[in-house]
Amino acid sequence: MNLYEFLIEAIRQTYANENVEKQFSSRRGLKEYVNGEYKYSFKVEGDLEYFVGKECIFKDKKKIYELKCHGGMIK
């Protein structure tokens, strides 16, 4: 499995798992997801008015991917 295959798998878990708490903080991906040597994490602060988030992927405990995002409501 490569980085992007794992990223797609991690994000799909958010919508495939009926037990996932459907909050704003989990809309991009689960707070944490692990499969083998890969670990995904997504942290977000704020609400729909304004938020900032950071998505990371680790392989063997070494960060190999990072995405920062921000957004909010347009009035």
pLDDT tens digits for range 10-53:
988 877 665 555 544 546 778 899 999 999 999 989 888 899 99
Residue type at 58? F
**Model pLDDT, residue 52:** 93
Q: Which residue range is the domain that position 67 belongs to?
A: 3-72
Q: Residues 47, 67: contact at Cβ < 8 Å?
A: no
Overall domain count for the chain: 1
What value does the mean pLDDT take over residues 4-9?
94
How many angstroms separate the Cα of 61 from the Cα of each of 2, 32, 34, 47, 58?
A: 15, 13, 11, 30, 5
Q: Is 46 left (phi over 0), alpha (psi -120 to 50) or beta?
A: left
- The pTM for the full model equals 0.80
DSSP element (H, E) containing 45: strand 38-46
**Model pLDDT, residue 23:** 47
